[in-house]
Amino acid sequence: MSHYFVTGIGTDVGKTFAACALLHGARQKNRKVVALKPVACGIDHAMGGDVAELLAASGHVDVEQSPWWFEAPLSPHMAATAEHKQIDLAELVAWTKARLPADGFSVVEGAGGIMVPLNERHTVRDWMVALELPVILVAGSYLGALNHTLSALELLRMAKLKVAAVVISESMHGVSLADTEKTIKNFAGDIPLIIAQARVSSWRQATHIHALVEKL
């Protein structure tokens, strides 16, 4: 079995794009796939946005609605508060673990970045630590992404989380993708897989991320 937690160096760096490309790559290899998005903000409850993309990539036509999908485009703890709810870490961890299959290829997509608060005490990183899944970190190539990526990797190391791969998703109006990849590899040499994906119109065309599935 292969289960991974997909997180990012921040919001809107391409987590869902990378997760969908990984699922698509696994399906191309005839592997059974499962996509989980337990915490989602800024969507309606008709399974739109990121959830719809993950459903399409995994080939599912429906999904059990998570208790932690919120309409407000805010951090999870703020979005939950706006709906008079709260995210309990123990419940979130149990819900996630119960839906990971015994075999196949699965991705759990986080919300926002590594240190985004889930509630008044816990962050996404606490969720990752409790799940003990290898992490796929999604980065960008925008100005400032190097600092954000290396800071994120340090936070993951401090929590003793295994980073299986870094996916650098080319940012719009960013700096050189090749130079970004070279620099991250230079400073994060202990990460086994660091790949760069140029901008494409769909995760169905993200061939570098598809190929990553075989190496994980």
Residue 167 pairs in a beta bridge with 138, 195
Catalytic residue among 15, 32, 37, 162: 37
Short-list 124, 168, 133, CA closest to 34: 133
d(CA 159, CA 154): 9
Short-list 165, 173, 117, 116, CA closest to 144: 173
DSSP string of 114-125?
Answer: TT-BSSSS-BHH
Short-list 210, 215, 216, CA closest to 25: 210
The question of whether 37 is a catalytic residue gets the answer yes
Angle between helices 145-158 and 177-187 (to 10 degrees): 30
Please state, in angstroms and as integers, the Cα–Cα distance from residue 87 to each residue in 67, 129, 214, following that order: 9, 16, 35
Count Cβ atoms below 10 Å from residue 60 Cβ, excluding itself: 13
| DSSP E strand stretches across 9-161 | 33-36, 39-41, 68-70, 105-113, 135-140
Active site amino acids: 37
